[in-house]
Structure 1
C-alpha cells in the first residue's frame, strides 16, 4: 500500500470514524491486515496519537507559578517515569500552545536543545498562516539536529506553515574578535536583528552537569563546569547564559565566543517560552525564573512542585535575616 493509500485509510478510521470492519469491506482486506496497516501508519508518522491530561490536574500548580514569579503563563505536564516520554508529553503541550497563539507575520526566535527539538517533532497543525521561524543562535554540526537551530526552525515552519530564516554563522567561534566581525557581517547581522524583533522566543533551560549536552559536544570541559559551579552557577538559558540561583548572570569567557542572542535581547522579546523537562533542572529553572527573562514556563509537574518548595527554602532564610536586622 502506498503512502497516499495508507493516509486515506488512516483518515477514514481516525477522522471519519469508520470501523475496521468497514475498512475491511471497502479495501477488500482482512481485519487483521487493516489492523497492521493502521499500526504501520503510526510507525511511519502518518498518525500521531496524543493523550491530553485534563487542565484540572495541573491548573493549581500553574497558577502558583504565575503568582509567585510574575510570569504570564505556565504550561505543566503530568509526570512520566520515562524521560523520553516525559519530554514528548511536554513538547506536545507546547506545540499545541504555539498552534493557538501563532498568527500571520509573527517572528519566532528558535533556540537549541532536546526540548526545543522535541517541540518541532511533535507539532501538528491544520491552520494556514505565515510566521517566520528564525535562528536565535548559529549552527553546530557536531551536536546533530538538537544543536542546530536551523534544522529545528525548518521543521517548525513545515509543521506550522510560514518560513524559516537561517543564521549563516557557527554557534561557537574560537576568538572574540572573530565573533565581533561576524556580528557585523552582512550575512549574519540582518538575521540576528530579525531574531531580536521576534514576538516569541523558544529557549531551553540547562543544568550544570559534567554529562550535559554542552560538555558532550565540546562547548565546555568538565573542569569548566566544575569552575562554573564554584562561581555559583546553577543553570543556563540557551546553553551559554549562565545564572546563579538568584537569577544573576555568571560571566564566562565562552559568552564572548557565541553567535546568538544575548540576555538583554531576550528581555526585549514579548513572549519568551522557556522549556525544561528533566528533573535535574529544578534549581536551574528557579534561577531562570528569577532572572526576569521568562514570560511562559513549560515544565513538568515534578519540577514545578520542587521549584515551589525550593523557592520557599531559599527565600525564607533571607526574609528571616531581614526581619532580624530591623529589630
Structure 2
C-alpha cells in the first residue's frame, strides 16, 4: 500500500470514524491486515496519537513556578517512569504550545539536544505560516540529528510552516582564535545576527555528570565535566552556557570555543523556552531559572516539585552550591 493509500485509510479510521470492519469491506482486506496497516501508519508518522492530561492536574504547580521564579509560563507533563516516553510526552506539549504561539514573520532560534529534537519529531500543524527557524548554534558531526540544530530546524520548518536557516560553522572549535575568525565570517555573522533577533528561542537544559549526553557524544570528556563540577557548575543552557546553582555563569574556557548564542544574547529574546525532561536535571533547572533568561519552562511534574523544594531549602543560604560527591546521597533532590 502506498503512502497516499495509507494516509487515506488512516483518515477514514481516525477522522471519519469508520470501523476496522468497515475498512475491511471497503478495501477488501482482512481486519487483521487493516490493524497492521493502521499500526504502520503510526510507525511512519502518518498518524500521531497524543494523550493529554487534564490541565488542573498541574495548574497549581505551574502557578507556583510562575510566582516563585517570575517566569511567564510553565508547561508541565505528568511524570512517566520510562525516560523515552517521558521525553515524548513533554515534547508533544511543547509542540502544541509552539503551534499556538507561532505566527508569520516570527524568528525562532533553535538549539540542540534530545529534548529539542523530540519536539521537532512531535510537531504537526494544519496552519499555513511563514516563520523562520534559525540555528542558535553550529553543527556537530557526532550524536546524530539530536546534536545538530540544522536537522532540527529543517524538521520544525517543514512541520510547523516556514523556512530554516543554517549556521555554517561547527558548534565547537579547538581554540579561541579559530572561534573569533569564524564569528567574523559574513555568513556566520549574518545567521547569528538573525538568531539574536529571534522572537522565540527553543533551548535545552543540560546536567553536569560523567554520563551526560554531552560526554557520550564527545563534546566533553569526563575529566572536563569533573572540572566543571569542581568549579560549581550544576548545569548548562544550550549545551555550553554553564551555570552554578545561583544561575551565575560558571568559569570555564569552553565558552571561548563555541559558535552559538550566548547567555547575554538569550536575555534579549522575548520568549526563551527551556526544556528538560530527565529526572537528573533538578539542580540544573533551578540554576537555569535563577539566570533570569527563561520565560517559559517546560519540564515534568516531578522535576518541578523537586525544584520548588530545592529552592526553598537553599533560599536562606547565603551561597547555595552543589553538595560534594560524598554529600549527594543525603540530598533527596539530586
TM tier relative to shorter chain: over 0.9
Does residue 1:111 correspond to 2:141, yes or no?
no
Kept after mapping to 1: 8 A contact 2:231/2:251: no
The aligned counterpart of 2:230 is: 230
Give the alignment of 1:164-179 within 5 angstroms.
Answer: 164-179=164-179
Q: CA deviation at 1:30?
A: 2.2
Q: Which runs of 4+ in 1 moved over 6 A?
A: none
Q: Secondary structure at the match of 2:186?
A: coil
Give the alignment of 1:187-266 within 5 angstroms.
Answer: 187-266=187-266
Give the alignment of 1:131-146 within 5 angstroms.
Answer: 131-146=131-146
Give the alignment of 1:34-183 within 5 angstroms.
Answer: 34-183=34-183
Q: CA deviation at 1:143?
A: 2.0
Q: CA deviation at 1:318?
A: 4.3
Q: CA deviation at 1:217?
A: 2.4
- List alignment gaps of at least 5 residues for structure 2: 320-334
Aligned-residue RMSD, C-alpha: 1.1
The aligned counterpart of 1:287 is: 287
- List alignment gaps of at least 5 residues for structure 1: 320-327
TM-score (normalizing by structure 1):
0.96
The aligned counterpart of 1:272 is: 272
Q: CA deviation at 1:218?
A: 2.4
The aligned counterpart of 2:332 is: none
Q: Secondary structure at the match of 1:71?
A: coil
Q: Deviations over 1:89-113 (max 9, x none)?
A: 0000000000000000100000010
Q: CA deviation at 1:316?
A: 3.0
Distance 2:226 2:164 in 1: 37
Distance 1:146 1:37 in 2: 29
Distance 2:12 2:64 in 1: 43
Give the alignment of 1:17-36 within 5 angstroms.
Answer: 17-36=17-36
Distance 1:69 1:179 in 2: 34
Distance 2:80 2:169 in 1: 37
The aligned counterpart of 2:8 is: 8
Distance 1:278 1:296 in 2: 17
Q: Secondary structure at the match of 1:187?
A: helix
TM-score (normalizing by structure 2):
0.94
